[in-house]
Amino acid sequence: MTFWTEHRFVVTGGAGFLGSRVVEALQQRGADRVFVPRSADYDLRHHEAVTDLLSDTRPDIILHLAAVVGGIGANRARPADFFYENLMMGTQLFHEAWRAGVKKFVTIGTVCAYPKFTPVPFHEESLWEGYPEETNAPYGLAKKMLLVQGQSYRQQYGFNSIYLLPTNLYGPRDNFDLETSHVIPALIRKFMEAKDAGAAQVSAWGTGSPTREFLYVDDAAEGILLATERYEKSDPVNIGSGNEISIRALTELIAELVGYEGEVVWDASKPDGQPRRGLDTSRAEQEFGFKASTTFRDGLTRTIEWYQQERQKAAPQG
């Protein structure tokens, strides 16, 4: 446990969906020097803000989770933002962390970095065997450059960095804004609102044929901290559940758990995204002992219950 008490941590994106779980898990491990920079104080797209952050906090370990993220719709609407802002935040912070003598840099990449037609399950060795799926390629490639940076700096400077590839995350406190959310919160919200309104139909994007793998957010935080403590290589590592499900089956499961009994109408004019997505998670288990522990049904149930409570809080009283 001294690992957690003897180091100073900076967690970029530490107020976000995943980052807040990482901060909580750090504190549960006894880390009492954890700094979470807010963008209003340290806009990491700008070099001066990066150097100010490192000067002000003098971290031993940086966990870089800050990112501009969103679902297919947001990626299609803002591809330049997703590329530039993610690239600038990551590469400048990484370089200045090396210059400042940071002991370890933990980069959180994205499953969107994988080629569009990667054989399932995705093995880390397949990362360079094609171009990412077009709708999120700018985001995926910006994050993928941090893998190149990490391997280059280890080779030339011996800088200790690791690169983790979480699959699609879900859980309580996710983003439920239909304009920018990912598929699980979007479907939960749609079905709840349709149920309350007595709507006969709900529209879902695409054909329902693609597959995805989902990881409960608390499990993801656990995997990140196990790697932070135990993993010392720049080879990329998948962080996932190892379970693949079609979007159609996912939609039916969420409708069941919400209690919506109407019809789902598939809007094939909307993009499906990557055809299949499922990870080989054996490297994480072998290298630092991570294995997801939350079943998909349990995780969805907790997420739905949380969102239902939030809706009740927001409802007009009286």
Size of the chain, expressed as the number of residues it contains: 318
Active-site pick, 114, 139, 216, 260:
139
Structural tokens at position 317: 């009283």
**Main-chain phi, psi angles of 204, to 5 degrees:** -120, 145
Q: Are 213 and 242 in contact (CB under 8 A)?
A: yes
Distance CA(119)–CA(117), nearest Å, equals 6
Name the residue type at position 63.
L
Q: Residue 139 catalytic?
A: yes
Sheet strands (E) in 199-243: 201-205, 211-216, 237-239
Give the residue from 8, 16, 140, 137 showing the smallest Cα distance to 66.
Answer: 16
Sheet strands (E) in the chain: 9-12, 34-35, 61-64, 104-108, 161-166, 168-170, 201-205, 211-216, 237-239, 244-246, 263-267
Orientation of helix 217-230 relative to helix 17-28, angle to 10°: 60
Residue linked to tokens 């990066």: 50
Name the residue type at position 267.
D
Give the residue from 276, 39, 301, 63 showing the smallest Cα distance to 161.
Answer: 63
Structural tokens at position 186: 């979007």
**Main-chain phi, psi angles of 10, to 5 degrees:** -115, 130
Structural tokens at position 283: 């490297």
**Main-chain phi, psi angles of 35, to 5 degrees:** -110, 130
Name the residue type at position 142.
A
Structural tokens at position 276: 């299949």
Query: Catalytic residue numbers?
Result: 139
